[in-house]
Amino acid sequence: MNTLIYSELQDSDLFSLLLIRHFERLLLTLFGEGKLHGTTHTCLGQEYIPVSLSTLFTEYDFLFSHHRGHGHYLARFRDPASLLAEIMGRTGALCNGIGGSQHLFRDHYLSTGVQGENLPVAVGVALHAKREERGGIAVVYLGDGTWGEGTTYEALNIAQLWQVPLLVVVENNGIAQSTPTSIQMAGTIEERVRAFHIDYVKVTSLDIPTIRTEVAPRIHHVRTLCAPLVIEFVTHRLGPHSKGDDTRDQETLRAIQENDWYGLYQRRFPDQLERIEQDVRHELADVIAQVEQRPLVQWSCTDE
């Protein structure tokens, strides 16, 4: 697949992309201002992955996300207020402020910061979806680093053996925390997946319509044939693992920046980008203004 961006996006897709980009930037600003506690991991640079896939999922599909999951959540629900309130521990929080950035739960959506925890659970949910016969699938987002967890292989084994409708989306950004994938992974993700005779597709494009055309028929197979599929996105994270812990050299970071979808799209469709970006800025300005003035959520260990 071509790695260039060449298609003009529908406004709603561009809105989702920019919403995620600006939401993540907002979080980093709020951290800098001392208004957020705990930690957070931004998906800057990877926004196009959940946005590409979001239109291919149905309300019956169960999405599992991980520590870098704000984009997954926003692409599905487009509800920045509930997520920001959750992260800030303010009234209106999605999980009453207990889940924070990494542990979110909402209709058919669950995220966890524990690597390797979700995939076995998703196999069970996929089995349930198969038995329910409503065409639902289980979708799990994983980083490349999570292929170092043994549960990943146990889950893939059973998924293939039992033929469950499971889609594994690998966001291979080439690094896990501060360890480059090249020095911790023997062989490739593709070889590991094929060892289980599981269907596999690699995506290197940043072009959302191209990605959808490529993966839609494969996801349809997961749904209709109840067979697992792994899609590996070759991607990059723009920012640090968390906040101040980027160990990559300047040359690497410059190359990543040059190939970021935002700049590529801005050069190709500047007017549309500016127009939609204004809408996003207004929406997020309203959200932060509202959420920031809400009271902190109150809870205790004895709460139901």
Ligand X SMILES: Cc1ncc(C[n+]2csc(CCOP(=O)(O)OP(=O)(O)O)c2C)c(N)n1
209 binds ligand X (CB under 6 A): no
- Cβ-based nearer residue to ligand X, 255 or 296: 255
> Judged by CB under 6 A, which stretch of 114-122, 191-199, 211-219, 265-273 contacts ligand X?
114-122
**Ranges of H-type helices in the chain:** 11-32, 48-54, 70-77, 80-88, 118-132, 150-162, 189-195, 208-225, 250-258, 261-268, 270-292
101 binds ligand X (CB under 6 A): no
184 binds ligand X (CB under 6 A): no
| Among the listed residues 64, 56, 66, 100, the one whose alpha carbon sits nearest the alpha carbon of residue 82 | 100
Q: For helices 150-162 and 118-132, what crossing angle results, to 10°?
A: 10
Backbone angles phi and psi of 141, in degrees to 5: -90, 135
Cβ(57)–Cβ(88) under 8 Å? no
Cβ(116)–Cβ(144) under 8 Å? no
72 binds ligand X (CB under 6 A): no
14 binds ligand X (CB under 6 A): no
68 binds ligand X (CB under 6 A): yes
- Cβ-based nearer residue to ligand X, 83 or 227: 83
161 binds ligand X (CB under 6 A): no
- Cβ-based nearer residue to ligand X, 15 or 23: 23
177 binds ligand X (CB under 6 A): yes
In this structure, the chain runs to a length of 304
Secondary structure (3-state) at 230: strand
- Applying CB under 6 A, among 45, 69, 80, 143 the residue interacting with ligand X is 143
Torsion of CA 100, 83, 35, 42, to 10 degrees: 80
Q: What Cα–Cα distance (Å) separates residue 45 from each residue in 49, 98, 187, 280?
A: 9, 27, 25, 17
- Applying CB under 6 A, among 145, 228, 239, 240 the residue interacting with ligand X is 145
Least distance CB 174 / ligand X (angstroms):
8
Least distance CB 303 / ligand X (angstroms):
26
> Judged by CB under 6 A, which stretch of 24-32, 143-151, 209-217, 272-280 contacts ligand X?
143-151
User: Which residues lie near ligand X (CB under 6 A)?
Assistant: 67-68, 113-116, 143-146, 171, 173, 175-177, 241
